[in-house]
Structure 1
Amino acid sequence: MPTSPQPGRDRGLRAVVLVEGHSDQLALQVLARRLGRDLAGEGIGVVAMSGATNIARYLDHYGPPGLDVTVAGLYDSAEERFFRRGLERIGRRPGPGPDGMAECGFFRCTADLEDELIRAIGAERVERLVEADGGIASFRRLQRQPAQRDRSLHDQLRRLMGGRAGGKYRYARLMAEAVDLDRVPRPLNAVLDHLPPPS
C-alpha cells in the first residue's frame, strides 16, 4: 500500500479527507453516497494514509506547504498525538482536546471507526450482519477463546474485525450500508459537514 501521496491523482481536488486506513476510506465513501454526496464529482478525495504515523507527509502535500486545498480528517483516539503534531508542523495550532482538533477539521472516533459503527448500529444487529455474510462460525470460535469469553459482544465484534486480514475492510462496507442515516456516527457526519459544499 502506498504511504505517500500520489500527485497524479490530485488533479481537480478542492478538498481531501485524510483517514488512517482503507476500511475508513470505504466506510466514509459509502456513507457519503448514502447521504447524497458525490465526493469525487465535487472534487473531494478520501485518502487512506496506511497509518496515522504518515500524517505529516500527507499534510505537507495537501496543506499550505503543498497544494493548499481544504484538508479534513478522521482519527482514532489513540492516534491524536500524531495528527496534532502534523497540524502544528504546517502552522495550524489546534486547541486542547478533540474540540480543538475539530476546529481544524479533524474529528476523533472514540476508539476507532468500527467502534463508532457498532455502537450506532447495535451489537446484536451487527452480529446478524456477520451471520448473513457467512462469518458466524468463525465468530463463534472466537467467542469460545478464553481471552474472549468474558468480553462484551461489542468488544468481541471489534476483535473479529481487527483480528484477521481484510476483516476491517470487509465489515466497513457492511456496516456503512446498514447504519440508519439518522444514527450515522458524529465524527463521520462532522467531517462531511466540514467539507466545502458542491460548487
Structure 2
Amino acid sequence: MTTERTSTTSVILVEGASDRAAVLEAARLLDVDLGSGGVSVVPMGGAMSVRRFAAELGPDGAGLRLRGLCDAGEVRFFERAGLPSPDIYTCRPDLEAELLRALGIGRAEAVLEEEGDLRLFWMFQQQPAQRARPVEAQLHRFLGTTSGRKEHYGAVLTAALGPDELPAPLRGVVLSQPSPV
C-alpha cells in the first residue's frame, strides 16, 4: 500500500493493475492531472482487500478521501468497507466488458492488430472451449489469458477511445470529487 501521504489528499481504490492502468489513461484522455490534484490510484490486489485499504487510508487511518472503481459483483465489499454509494463507480459486469462495449468488436480487434495480438486472438478463437462463444466473450476471456495482458490492454483499449466515449464509471471516477472526510 503506497501513497505519498504528504501530497495525497484522496485515493481511488481499484481492484488491480489493469484498472489502475485504465484510470490513469482515462485521466490522460480527459486532461486531468490526478497527481497535481492530490489523487493517488491504488490497486488493492482484489476487491476483498478494500476493507483493509479503507481502514488504513480513509477517515480513521490516514484521513484521505476515498472513492472506488469496481466490478458489479464486488460492490458489496466497497459498501461494507464504508465507502458511500456515490463514491463507488461500478463497471457492469467489469471494466473489460465496459471497454469492449465502448469500442465495439471491430475497433477492439483493430487494437489487437496494432498491438500484434490479432493472430494470437484468432488462434485462441479456434480452441474448442471458445468456438461456440460470442466474439465479445472470446475477446473478454482473451484479455485475461496471459500474465500482464490485462494490464496492458486496460491502458491501450482505454487509449483507443475518445474522451466522450469513455465508459461512465471510468469517466465518473476520474472526474468526481470524493465525499468529504
TM-score by length of 1: 0.85
**What is the DSSP-based 3-state SS (H/G/I as helix, E as strand, rest coil) of the residue aligned with 1:11?**
coil
Match of 1:98 in 2: none
Residue 20 of structure 1: which of 5, 15, 19 is its match?
15
Kept in 2: contact 1:121–1:180 (CA 8 A): no
Distance across 2 between alignment mates of 1:169 and 1:6: 19
User: Number of matched residues?
Assistant: 178
Tell me how large the CA RMSD over aligned residues is. 1.4
**What is the DSSP-based 3-state SS (H/G/I as helix, E as strand, rest coil) of the residue aligned with 2:128?**
coil
Match of 2:171 in 1: 189
Residues 139-193 of structure 1, C-alpha deviations (whole Å, 9 max, x = no match): 1111011211121111111111012111101111111111121111000111123
Residue 76 of structure 2: which of 78, 81, 84 is its match?
81
TM-score by length of 2: 0.93
Following superposition, the deviation at residue 66 of structure 1 comes to 0.9
- The question of 1:173 aligning with 2:173 is answered no
Following superposition, the deviation at residue 53 of structure 1 comes to 1.1
Map 1:1-199; keep pairs closer than 5 Å. Answer: 5-6=1-2, 9-87=4-82, 94=84, 101=85, 103=86, 105-195=87-177
- Amino acid aligned to 1:26: A
Distance across 2 between alignment mates of 1:144 and 1:64: 51
Following superposition, the deviation at residue 18 of structure 1 comes to 0.2
Distance across 2 between alignment mates of 1:6 and 1:38: 19
Identical amino acids, percent of aligned pairs = 38
**Which runs of no fewer than 5 residues in structure 2 stay unpaired?**
none
